[in-house]
Amino acid sequence: MATDEERLERVQRRLTPAVRQAIEKAIALDRLPAPLRSVIAQPALERLRPSDRMAPESLGPAAAPRGRSGPASPLAAIPIAGLEAIVQRTGRPPLLVRDDRVVMEDLPDFPEGTDGLIREVEGRIPSVGRIEFINHAMTWGGTGWVVRETGGRSLVITNRHVAALVAKRKADGRAIFMRSPFGQPYRASIDFLAEAERLEDATRTARLTEVVYLADDAAADVALLRVEATGFPLPGPLDLHDGPVHRNDLVAVIGYPAFDSRNDADDQARYFRDLYDVKRFAPGFVMQEPEAGAVFSHDCTTLGGNSGSPLIRLTDGKAVGLHFQGLYGRNNSAVGAATVAALLRGERPVAVLLPETLEERADGHHPAEHFRGRAGFDPHFLGDALPTPWPVLPAETVADLAAPSDAPPEPNELRYTHFGVKYCARRKVPVVTAVNIDGGRSVRIKRGADQWFTDGRIPREIQLGQANFADSAIDRGHMVRREDPNWGEDAEARLANGDTFHYVNAAAQHASLNQGKTLWQGLENYILESTRTHGLRACVFTGPVLRGPDEEDETVIDRAVVPLEFWKLVVTLDAEDQGLHATAYLLSQGELIRRLLEKRSRREGLEGFTLGAYRTFQLAVSDLAEATGYDLSAYVDADPLRKFEAAREALASKEPVFLPVEVPTDIRL
């Protein structure tokens, strides 16, 4: 964060004679905007009355030079925030767009003639639009612009992080629209208008029908989407600049600045006059030209909604870049026009090309005899004196479980190498999995070309297959992680690795879990790496949170139940190796927690509890047991949360105990 001295120095550098004159004029005519007055100290306001005419040289954030007599500048009493706001707002006013033309204001921060250059490039404004969403919690996500047109079919360019709100890349590299958590397909459109006085006018809104390209996270922040001809003529594409770009070239961003919580709220309100989400034209200068090892940067004023805006050169109106990030009031970064041109020619980063060359292998089938000798989950893995039994399931859940033909000692267990699965025949989903992990004997096995199998010990018709995971909205997720049972002799570990690729060990996972899954997988990695590092043993139970008969129906896509929450119970020996240590976790938007609150008649269930983004929580084992209906009594007293007084008090008052887990150090052990 900049010091006050650094901020003052920046203000003084920007206080050019032209900006000083503009400020003096605003003060003299009593036209200083009210939002700016709110950050000026009252003594300074008194001295800035129109009757107190000021010479330009008196304007500045400092008093008279040290050692010299004379009155201090009237602006000396103004807080730094006020000075910054005055200089920014006066030197670079936020220019609105009305009827595809810029609403011009004085531009003292720019060379003479800049207003004329802006007028000459106004013809590019209609090609820029607001990227809007359908069936999504967000109504819009950024800016886009027409970058190519061929026979009534145009391409719109925006940032990857904008398109990724409603789209994803599949394993084969193709990009597709996702579905909402409730099953509706996400869609997108582009509103080429969205001006301050025409926000309800949809006459220039076109559907975005296809995601042509969605960059990998390691590639330039670009997405290309197809827009089809509509009831109005589509605007033409912006020409890409194909020559050099130089520092201090005059440029401008056209886009839709939105309120951005990452920036100072009052500062944004003063500058944009509390008017966001509408088309604006923001001139500025190139700060760093695009070259090897340097980020292409500019100082046009932007906010979050400007993501995907074109950066055009005022001398010829050509696009020199695609804006993708910025620091409000400081500097911004752009993808260079050369990168955009390469993508339009069909060039793709290796990270995108490689998946497209891989084809998933066809499903296989293992007959019952293939599994001869599989021992499954060992409930005495931590010691005969400290058993780790399977969770006891309700009778109605047990009634739906598949019955393996090899008659396992643990009822309904499909036994594999170092793990077992209890599988629901009616819902076609694993109800609970159990795995033994031996960190001291772990074997790292590189993942190859995946092939999934059906299990011959239960009927094929109750198992899933590739067709059930064809929809773009769902992923095929391991319940027992591929790496967890991979320990022992090399052949044994490889057998365990292959066993995880059976459809009874797969649950359809909604794509909306992706962000929360990152933290969930981080938790899983933390568990596995901890066992490896310390040579520990662990027993891990995992399963989906299934709906009860008196609750809403399950989400079903392509005939597969798609659970929206998952739980995990991790059991190890305690620090003294004399007892069990059990921690419970939940990947959820909060639905299970809300149901617990409502079930216990807690006010929080009705007063402001909202479902948010998917997150990982640690929760009390007893709360997990009540929420799922599973008997986890063997582990309740081994929960370390019960050691904390606050947690004991909460449990005594029937308040659910749950802690968000952002990093592994958030876990209470």
Rounded to 10 degrees, what is the CA torsion of 211, 217, 222, 226?
Answer: 0
The answer to the question of whether 332 is labelled as a binding residue is: no
CB 275 within 8 A of CB 229: no
Task: Please give the Cα distance from 351 to 630 (Å, whole number).
Answer: 43
Asked whether 72 and 63 are in contact (CB, 8 A), the reply is yes
User: What number of helices (H) and strands (E) belong to the chain?
Assistant: 17, 30
618 φ/ψ angles, rounded to the nearest 5 degrees: -100, 135
3-state secondary structure (DSSP) of residue 264: coil
Give the single-character DSSP code of 360. Answer: P
Instruction: Point out the catalytic residue in the list 241, 418, 478, 581.
Output: 478
The Cα–Cα gap between 669 and 530 comes to 13
Pair of tokens at residue 410 = 């643990």
* b/e burial code for range 81-102 (CB count within 10 A of at least 16 → b): ebbbbbbbbbbbbbbbbeebeb
Helix (H/G/I), strand (E/B), else coil: 178 = coil
Q: How many CB atoms lie within 10 A of CB 255?
A: 29
Cβ atoms of 510 and 179 closer than 8 Å: yes
Rounded to a whole number of angstroms, the distance between the first and last alpha carbons of the chain is 36
The pair of structure tokens assigned to 175 is 């990009």
Q: Using an 8 Å Cβ cutoff, are 236 and 261 in contact? A: no
Q: Is 478 a catalytic residue?
A: yes
DSSP per-residue string spanning 231-255? SSPPPPPPPBP-S---TT-EEEEEE
| Integer Cα distance of 501 and 454 in angstroms | 9
How far is Cα of residue 399 from the mean position of the Cα atoms in its chain?
40
Task: Give the CA distances from residue 21 to residues 39, 58, 246, 376, in Å, rounded to whole numbers and listed in that order.
Answer: 21, 11, 29, 82
Tokens of 483: 């790496």
638 burial (CB, 10 Å; 0-12 / 13-18 / 19+) is buried
| Binding site members | 514
Which residues are annotated as catalytic?
478
| Binding site members for Mg(2+) | 514
